[in-house]
Amino acid sequence: VPGGFKEDFDKTRMGALVLAVTLLLIVAIINYVIHALAMSSMRTKEVAVKKVFGASKISLQKQFIGESFLIVFIAFIVAIVLFDLLRPLFNHVLDADIYSLAPNGLGLALTIPILIVVLSLLAGSYPAFYLSGLMPSTIFRTQHFSVKGKPGIRKALVVFQIIVTSVLITSSYIMSRQLKMVEQMDLGYALDNRIVFELGHTSMRISYESFKQGLQSIPGVKMVSGSDKVPGTRFSANPFVVGTIATDTLVVHRHIADANYKELMNIEIIEGRWFRDDYRTDFENVIINEAAVNAFGWDTPVGQIIGRIYMTGPVNRRVIGVVKDYHFKSLHEPVEPLIILLKRGSGEYITALLEEGNQTVTIDRIRSEWHYYFPGRPFHFSYLSEAFDKYYQKEQNMQQTAFCLAVFTIIIAALGLSGMCSLDTKSRLREIGIRKVFGASTTNIIHDFVKQYIILASIGFVFSVPFVYYFMGRWLENFTYRISIVSPNNYILPMIIIVLAIVLTVFPQIKSAASSHPASILKYE
């Protein structure tokens, strides 16, 4: 594909991926801790009975950490199997062979066991110490043991989950908005239905003109043009001087194209005219873009003299037209000065404009024409839009990666939030019963519970904004033309998604607890 290049997986992308995955892992650990605490009320009698029969605090801690180790170990086995199955997808998203990014065999063999042990301790320590510290007398004295804990710690864990989730969701949304802006931005020329042939070998250029004429005669081909480069390739740059006397020298991008190029690419002339085949003098003329006019400091560019510097000195050429700036390079960079010359002889690229509809038949006819003029050469072409899209493959891969991580984080955070809600409702059952006795409706109780989770979501989202502003601000710096990082549109939709996800997660449990009959809750009081 012209201009297509497969960039190596650079350190910046690797660092961003490792950071995102680490945060996702931390969210999973927090999720495990919250669920373990939520389930602790169901294991209090188990702990009490074991302590009565002589179990020590340390033995109970070993039991619970061992359970955590077993869960983490099973999770690693499942993860390795899923990783191997999904490896082609990872390679596509990351645009690199993921095995080439992994440490060597010894490093991997040491990393996995250490990671399993560390994750087991991180996930299992807090629940283990909490459960092993419960006193049998306290447990047996009450019919319903209420998990007290520290609500502040639980809420802080939930807020942290929301911060991580918000950062990933908002970052993914900002990336998608930027890439959508790139897709919709007026490039100054047309891409659709244009296919490009690269005649890279010198022997192929002997049949350059014949192949062009053969393409033009094929039904379904509207127009054909030749040039030395096409958008998406690296344009040459040459030194030019202004005027007939060499004073200031400017290095300007150079483009060589034939008389059909402007019409085929739909490039706009804003002053003067384009080249004409029947004007032999046009080989001594040039056309420039608006950026070149500004660089040369001209008020009336048409008719000005510009000299291209050769070994023997400058060769003067007259400006006959000015084209509107078009993005012959990616939107990562501003439009730079460009000088266009009329193509003489063969060129490296041929661009064909196809009619819409049933282009497969047209391409089959083109294939036959190709093999006629270039026997033994593999038939190859690319759509011009594909060549231009290659500029943004790295950003598209990053956006897809961020989206996948955001989805996983939402799922894991929702599970953790469900555990938090379960723990919260169990510890406040008596409060719910008393409020209902004093006339509180189910709707009022649901409203109060849901409101506190929306407040937690809002706090987490607000704390996520500085991180998004910093990291996405740096990412957007790669684009000369970009969306505003401070636009409220970047944050409204992600906030709505997070609030809806939280409400849908906690509502069923809250509704169930709030709908309980006061007598069933308070009968042991």
pLDDT at 101 over 70: no
Question: Residue 464: is its pLDDT beyond 60?
Answer: yes
In angstroms, the CA 237 to CA 229 distance is 12
**For 334, which DSSP code?**
P
Mean pLDDT over the full length of the chain: 81
Residue 208 confidence (pLDDT): 83
Tokens of 405: 């991580």
Q: Is the pLDDT of residue 83 over 90?
A: no
Residue 357: phi and psi, rounded to 5, are 85, 135
Q: Which two tokens stand for residue 350?
A: 């041929």
Tens digit of pLDDT for each residue in 406-426? 888 888 878 778 877 877 787
Q: How far apart are CA 247 and CA 147, in angstroms?
A: 84
99 or 2: which leads in pLDDT = 99
| Residue 276, both tokens | 């004409």
* pLDDT digits 0-9 by tens, 292-346: 999 888 889 999 888 876 655 567 889 999 999 998 888 778 889 999 999 887 7
Higher pLDDT among residues 18 and 172, named by residue: 172
Closest CA to 490 of 178, 182, 183, 185: 178
Q: How many CB atoms lie within 10 A of CB 277?
A: 10
Q: Cβ(423)–Cβ(154) under 8 Å?
A: yes
pLDDT at 3: 40
Residues pairing with 48 in the sheet: none
Question: Could you report the per-residue pLDDT of 480-507, keeping only the tens digit for each?
Answer: 888 999 999 899 999 998 888 888 888 8
pLDDT(466) > 60: yes
Q: Which residue in 415, 83, 375 sits closest to 206, CA to CA?
A: 375
Report the predicted TM-score, pTM, of the whole model to 2 decimal places. 0.73
Please, where are the H alpha helices in 187-256? 208-216
pLDDT in tens, 130-142: 777 767 766 666 5
* Rounded Cα distance, 369 and 374, in Å: 8
Contact between 147 and 40 (Cβ < 8 Å): yes
Mean pLDDT is highest, among 44-58, 302-316, 468-482, for 468-482
